[in-house]
């Protein structure tokens, strides 16, 4: 479909494997407390290494991956170290962007592989773990993100003008092409479930 980047979530199993999965559990099994073989009994699972091996095999240096790390840890950088080791192993520093809601997680990525492009995810929703420190971006000095990935419902140009002076902004999950068209002069891009490259082509024609 001519996409040049895809985004997916990664979690760490109890036995140290990085797998692609959005939610914290598969069926009744918490991923962080369950080993890979046990999780495979519920469904087929792709590992991050599977995806990296595939990316190398297609030999398309223009294709990028946005890897969101589902990590809430502050003091343990094991998750991030394993991710960075795989990025280095497959020589994908220039084809992988690591994103996270956790600025400490991005801080660990910066420590292990400074050249990896880092995206800080941000929302102002009231949910567990989304603290005052996160919303005020106080810990960003540790993460030093290259881009801010903001929930599109929270986007207000006037509010984020000071941010735009520091880093570009991408809106997630934006499925309305009109929102992009209205804001395209001020945002860097969008993350979408529904908008396709074909839609952009038809719009421009």
- For 149-197, how does the pLDDT look when each residue is reduced to its tens digit (9 = 90+)? 999 999 999 999 998 999 999 999 999 999 999 999 999 999 999 999 8
Structure confidence at residue 142 (pLDDT): 78
**Both 67 and 167 in a single domain?**
no
**Both 29 and 118 in a single domain?**
yes
Give the domain-ending residue among 126, 145, 164: 145
pTM over 0.85: yes
Range of the domain at 128: 5-145
Cα separation values, 199 from 11, 124, 177, 196, Å: 32, 29, 8, 5
Domain count, the chain: 2
| Greatest distance between any 2 Cα atoms in the chain | 51
**Both 21 and 46 in a single domain?**
yes
Contacts of 37 by beta carbon, 8 Å cutoff, 6+ apart: none
- Decide if pLDDT at 98 tops 80: yes
Residue 81 belongs to some domain of the structure: yes
**Both 131 and 199 in a single domain?**
no
Residue 150 belongs to some domain of the structure: no
Residue 151 belongs to some domain of the structure: no
- Decide if pLDDT at 143 tops 90: no
Place of tokens 């990028």: 64
């Amino acid at each position: 479909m001519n996409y040049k980047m895809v985004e997916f979530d990664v979690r760490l199993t109890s036995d140290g494997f990085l797998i692609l999965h959005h939610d914290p559990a598969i069926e009744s099994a918490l991923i962080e407390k369950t080993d890979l073989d046990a999780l495979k009994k519920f469904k087929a699972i792709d590992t991050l290494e599977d995806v990296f091996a595939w990316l190398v095999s297609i030999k398309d240096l223009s294709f990028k991956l946005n890897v969101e790390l589902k990590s809430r840890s502050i003091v343990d950088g094991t998750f991030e170290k394993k991710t960075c080791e795989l990025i280095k192993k497959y020589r994908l520093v220039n084809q992988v962007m690591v994103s996270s809601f956790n600025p400490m997680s991005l801080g660990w990525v910066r420590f292990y592989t400074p050249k990896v492009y880092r995206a800080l995810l941000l929302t102002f929703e009231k949910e567990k773990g989304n603290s005052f420190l996160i919303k005020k971006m106080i810990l960003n000095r540790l993460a030093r993100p290259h881009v801010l990935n903001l929930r599109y419902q929270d986007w207000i140009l006037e509010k984020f003008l000071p941010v735009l002076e520091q880093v570009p902004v991408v809106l997630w999950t934006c499925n309305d092409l009109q929102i992009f068209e209205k804001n395209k002069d001020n945002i860097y891009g969008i993350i979408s479930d529904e908008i396709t490259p074909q839609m952009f082509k038809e719009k421009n024609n």
